[in-house]
Amino acid sequence: MKNVFRTATVGMLSLPTIAALALPASASRVGSSETVSSGSGWMIVLIAAAVLALIAVLVVLLMKKGGASQSDQPIMIGKPKDKHHATLEAQGAFLGGKHYGIVTKAVIGRSSSADIHVNEPKVSGTHCQVTWENGALYLTDLGSTNGTVVAGTGTIPARMPVRLYPDSVFWIGEERCAFRVKMK
């Protein structure tokens, strides 16, 4: 990506230089036997400007396409923030598809103090908790009103940790509020 940007920058800088060199050359030939219309120098400048604009648009598009989107970068929860053991991936449009890196534990709920804030009416203030312990990931419903469901298992009992595995899917409140587990 840096090479594309560097090449585009060199191209953008050289086009106006070429156009500037062409203008005096065309002006000096006007008095000679060659006739050059006065508009041809400006035509070169306009073409250079159009090419410059096209290169700028391409660079912006490449930077947007090539760069990592924010949703691909996990939001770290727990300490230390440099390493996480598992990632919760919000499914579909839920929470904008964000990823949450779990280091030790994360409380999920509607409360503003929750580590993963879910502003949905069927989600309790402190709905559930995901915990990394002894090399495994566990999900515990914290006594929520509408329950926590693990796909293939069903509604889990309150305050009883249930082990999660890679690609486990669970939802809170209602099915559209779902997370998929990714482990390193």
103-141: pLDDT as tens digits: 899 999 999 999 999 999 999 999 999 999 988 999 999
User: Of 175, 162, 172, which is closest to residue 116 (Cα–Cα)?
Assistant: 172
Q: Please tell me which residue, 129 or 85, carries the higher pLDDT value.
A: 129
Rounded to the nearest integer, the mean pLDDT of the chain is 78
Mean pLDDT score, 21-46: 59
- pLDDT given at position 118: 94
* Same domain for 169 and 109: yes
Domain count along the chain: 2
Report if pTM > 0.75: no
> Does the structure show a pLDDT above 60 at 29?
no
* Same domain for 133 and 87: yes
Kindly tell me the number of DSSP H helices and DSSP E strands found in the chain: 2, 12
Q: Please tell me which residue, 110 or 83, carries the higher pLDDT value.
A: 110
Least reliable range by pLDDT among 23-27, 88-92, 140-144:
23-27
- pLDDT given at position 54: 75
Residue where one domain finishes, among candidates 16, 48, 66: 66
Full DSSP string of 14-67:
HHHHHHHHHHHHHHHTTTSSS---THHHHHHHHHHHHHHHHHHHHHHHHHHHHS
Read off the tokens for 79.
């300490």
* Same domain for 76 and 57: no
- pLDDT given at position 21: 52
* Same domain for 41 and 130: no
Residue where one domain finishes, among candidates 12, 41, 66: 66
* Same domain for 77 and 166: yes
Mean pLDDT score, 10-39: 51
* Same domain for 82 and 29: no
Containing structural domain, residue 176: 71-183
Percent of the chain with pLDDT over 90: 45
* Same domain for 133 and 96: yes
Q: Rg of the chain over CA atoms, in angstroms?
A: 29
* Same domain for 92 and 171: yes
> Cβ(114)–Cβ(120) under 8 Å?
no
- pLDDT given at position 178: 95
Alpha helices, DSSP H, located in 67-156: none
* Same domain for 85 and 168: yes
Write the secondary structure of 147-163 as one string of H (helix), E (strand) and C (coil).
CEEECCCEECCECCCEE
* Same domain for 110 and 51: no
Helix, strand, or coil here: 27? helix
* Same domain for 90 and 55: no
* Same domain for 98 and 58: no
> Does the structure show a pLDDT above 90 at 18?
no
> Cβ(162)–Cβ(153) under 8 Å?
yes
The CA-based dihedral angle spanning residues 52, 57, 58, 63, taken in that order and rounded to the nearest 10 degrees: 130
Residue where one domain finishes, among candidates 26, 50, 66: 66
Which pLDDT tens digit goes with each residue over 151-178? 999 999 999 999 999 999 999 988 889 9
Q: How many residues does the chain have?
A: 184
- pLDDT given at position 73: 61
User: Of 171, 119, 123, 169, which is closest to residue 146 (Cα–Cα)?
Assistant: 123
The CATH number of the domain holding residue 152 is 2.60.200.20
